Amino acid sequence: MAETMAQTDKTNVESLTLLPECEEVQRCPVVSAIDVIGGKWTIIILYHLRGKTLRFGELKRQIPKITQKVLTHQLRDLEANKMIIRKVYAEVPPRVEYTPTALADKLNPALDLLCRWGEEYQKEHQF
């Protein structure tokens, strides 16, 4: 399995296109990406929303360490950045659902890599 992962990593590295050094920080694509997904909980929220629609309470249960206030703020930021769609139903009690957009779905390969890296890190550091 290590050989397969090594080969996959090599293929991933070979398929990367090297971007020129960023002359202006404001125009740097990495800075733009971090501005959108750099919040402490943003990646975790997007990971839990992958390929599905969840209600606020479902997200909160899946991320127990996040506070309600922070989850609300992060979801609003994700909506403002066009990463999720928030749908409010006119019901009592109110029902709100969150769904990732196509733009968020483009992060799925990076989330897969991050997940694999995390698994390797946990194994190496015996978590």
Residue 27 backbone phi and psi in degrees, to 5: -100, 0
Centre a 10 Å sphere on the Cβ of residue 77 and count the other Cβ atoms it contains: 18
Domain containing 42 equals 27-124
Could you give the angle at which helices 42-49 and 108-124 cross, rounded to 10 degrees?
110
Both tokens of residue 5?
Answer: 């992962």
Q: What total of structural domains would you count in the chain? A: 1
Residue 20 DSSP one-character state: P
Q: Examine residue 39 and state whether it is found in any structural domain, yes or no.
A: yes
Residues 67-104: pLDDT tens digits? 999 999 999 999 999 999 999 999 998 899 999 999 99
Q: Examine residue 22 and state whether it is found in any structural domain, yes or no.
A: no
Q: Examine residue 10 and state whether it is found in any structural domain, yes or no.
A: no
pLDDT at 4 > cutoff 60: no
Residue 55: give its domain's CATH number: 1.10.10.10
**CA dist list (Å): 17 to 14, 31, 117:** 8, 17, 21
Provide the pLDDT for residue 6: 45
Q: Examine residue 114 and state whether it is found in any structural domain, yes or no.
A: yes
Residues 32-70: pLDDT tens digits? 999 999 999 999 999 999 999 999 999 999 999 999 999
Q: Examine residue 14 and state whether it is found in any structural domain, yes or no.
A: no
pTM over 0.85, yes/no: no
* Residues composing the chain: 127
